[in-house]
Amino acid sequence: MIFIFALLSIAMTITQTIVVVSLFFLFARILLYIPIVLNTDSGVFRTITRAKSLNLNIINQGCCIRRIFQNLDFIFQKIHLH
């Protein structure tokens, strides 16, 4: 019984971590575009685009995680309908 609870707590921790990380990447993606709109100074623009290219792969991973959760949500909705 204790083993089952331990597994459940580990699963919950992993799920919470994935949710937090995906939310972080979602906000990171939004924040990367804000300075381009607010400040058109070429130095700032160059820095932001460099940051964007570095974070692009990480952000794509965040989008993949979000898609997985959307699919899971869709599956659970289908289960509740039946």
Q: For every residue of the chain, which 3-state class applies, written as one string?
A: CHHHHHHHHHHHHHHHHHHHHHHHHHHHHHHHHHHHHHCCCHHHHHHHHHHHHHHHHHHHHHHHHHHHHHHHHHHHHHHHHC
Q: Exposed (0-12), middle (13-18) or buried (19+): which is 17, by Cβ within 10 Å?
A: exposed
Residue with tokens 């659970």: 76
- Over 80: is that where the pLDDT of 11 sits? yes
In whole numbers, what is the pLDDT of the chain averaged over residues? 67
In this prediction, residue 53 carries a pLDDT of 56
Name the residue range of residue 76's domain.
Answer: 2-81
Residue 65: the pLDDT is 62
Which pTM does this prediction carry?
0.36
How many separate domains does the chain show?
1
| Model pLDDT for residues 35-67, shown as the tens digit of each residue | 555 555 554 555 555 555 555 555 555 556 666
Q: How confident is the model at residue 17 (pLDDT cuts 50, 70, 90)?
A: confident
